[in-house]
Chain A
Amino acid sequence: MMARLLDRKKIASLKERAIVSILAASSFLSIIVTVALTLILFTEAIIFFEKVSLKEFLTGTKWAPLFYDPSFGVLPLVAGTFLTTMIAIVIALPLGLIIAIYLSEYSNKKFRHYVKIFLEFLYSIPTIVYGYLALVVFTPFLKKYIPVEIFNAFSASVMMGVMILPIIASLSEEAFSSVPKDLREASLALGATRLDTVLKVVLPYSVSGVLASVILAVSRAIGETMIVAVAAGSTPNFTLNPFVSVQTMTAYIAQVSMGDTPFGSIEYASIYAVGFLLFVITFTLNYLSRVVFRWQKK
């Protein structure tokens, strides 16, 4: 009797140890994968920078890797990324905030529930669909009113704005909903209207939550590939004009990796350099949003 009990205990502890080692192994694996990826990115980028100086790469304003006399100034790609991201945020931020404020301060539970489902739905639409919609629906519609190119930054950005809207709306809504009810009541009890209360108590209280949602949305927009690849074209363009074709960093990487660029060529190596830059930018943004989140907790 006693022996069997001990046996059972032994088995249980063996099981426990097995589970713990599996867990440890998987978390270790994730570290290995991350380190490996970063290393590959880095070593391939080094190959590129042996041929092109870091200065030319970071300050050059012409990106023409396929020309007879190629030039590798990454700024046009950065400008394309910056332009599309900015327009997307300019659209998504106010709209997202208004939705979040309405949901947390004015709407009833039922409506809030349905809008949240709808936002989730928006977020789960594959981005290729957005890209396609931009190209075949939104751009032709725009063309009726303003002279835009078939491929243009604006259409892609608007769709990207719709894509990141759910991030800003739902994360901000969460931030607003976590404002203690007490605070709203204290404000109302002093004779504030609901709008006063939103502007003077709820927003200041949750400003870091909103900021974090914006940073997350920005890094999502910067990393977005499909929409811009399909709708914004593939012409590196050092411009802030949204109605012409541009190429973003991601779209360039996609173009080269899907094309027939020979392995080992400088064009091929260039995608690692661009990828590395992209990695640095998004990593910084994600880190920033983490800092902001922590700051909010305090």
Chain B
Amino acid sequence: MNVVEFKKPDSENKVVEFVGFGVSISGKQIFEGVSFPVYKNCITAIMGPSGSGKTTLLRSINRLLDEFCDVKYSGKLLFEGRDVINDGVDKTILRARIGMVFQRPNPFPGSIFDNVVYGLRLHGVRDKKLLEEVCIESLKKVGLYREVKNRLHRPAYDLSGGQQQRLCIARSLAVNPHVVLLDEPTSSLDPTSSAVIEELLTHLKKECTIIIVTHNLQQAGRISDYVAFLYPNEDLVSHLIEFGQTREVFFNPKESLTESYIAGKSG
């Protein structure tokens, strides 16, 4: 967590920033007035009870939310200084810079190799050697290379759940994203596989910024530098209750809601 100490949290270091941000889906307000920054090379955890809009918040960053439902945004969502909601940013370019990992491992049909280089091929890379290099490098980053180097061209479905999830992380890393979004990436995995992924994330933040949704308080405590805590009010519209360095929020919460949530979760 010393990364945080020597980096001045100025606007340079804000990769993503929510400014009075709100989302409504099919006319139903999910959350509103959410403002907090996401700092470069840090792990920011989004926490909150089920249904508080964590997934929704995460999916608005790469505008994946727009694909399958009727969304209305309010406020601003800055990605590297540009408002991705109002500035007419090209979604496919935006998504090429933002990796995403899902709750359950979801490899594509095809080989391990095909999976990792999917993004590169999309963007027109055909050079076999380059594809191979990036594939190996990405697999190494997630600690999977040694385990699969003899079967790169075997179906990805043959891997175990934990390996598949690491493959999915490698797939998102292959295009060199600036930010990686993870939505409860370990919730379908056994403790050992989860630990491997947690460890992996703490290394990964050296090269990109990580935003993770997690239900697991211990996990957030172990790996995150910052936490954002969402909580719904009586009308089931969520607000940002607290944002800050993980240690502060966990041991010194300013809000009683945060305190009772943490106490309830850990006690």
Contacts and interface: CB of A to CB of B under 8 A. Distances in A.
Chain A binding surface SS class = helix
B108 A188 contact: no
A190 B106 contact: no
A190 B119 contact: yes
B210 interface: no
Interface in A216-235: none
B169 to A, nearest CB: 12
Contact of A191 (B67, B104, B109, B123): B123
Interface string B54-85: 00000000101001100000000000000000
Contact of B175 (A191, A196, A205): A191
Contacts of B237: none
B142 to A, nearest CB: 16
Contacts of B68: 181, 185
Nearest to B174: A190
B187 interface: no
How many chain B residues sit at the interface, stated as a range, is 20 to 34
A196 B124 CA distance: 12
A186 B183 CA distance: 12
B93 A186 contact: no
B123 A189 contact: no
Nearest to A189: B100
B241 interface: no
Contacts of B109: 201, 204-205
B171 A190 contact: yes
B261 interface: no
Interface residues of A, number: 18
Interface in B90-142: 92-96, 98-100, 102, 104, 106, 108-110, 118-119, 122-123
A182 B96 contact: no
Interface string B148-182: 00000000000000000000100110010000000
B64 A191 contact: no
A119 B224 CA distance: 53
A84 B93 CA distance: 48
A193 B67 CA distance: 11
Contact of B95 (A180, A181, A188, A204): A188
Given A190-B175, A191-B123, A192-B122, A180 B96 contact: no
Interface of A: 180-183, 185-193, 196, 200-201, 204-205
23 contacts: A180-B106, A182-B106, A185-B64, A185-B106, A186-B171, A188-B67, A189-B98, A189-B99, A190-B95, A190-B171, A190-B172, A191-B92, A191-B94, A191-B96, A191-B123, A191-B175, A192-B92, A192-B122, A196-B122, A200-B122, A201-B109, A204-B109, A204-B110
Given A186-B106, A189-B95, A205-B108, 12 more contacts: A182-B106, A183-B106, A185-B68, A185-B100, A189-B62, A189-B64, A190-B96, A190-B122, A190-B171, A191-B94, A191-B96, A191-B122
Q: Which 7 A-B pairs have the closest CB atoms?
A: A191-B96, A189-B100, A182-B106, A191-B95, A190-B119, A191-B92, A205-B109
Interface of B: 62, 64, 67-68, 92-96, 98-100, 102, 104, 106, 108-110, 118-119, 122-123, 168, 171-172, 175
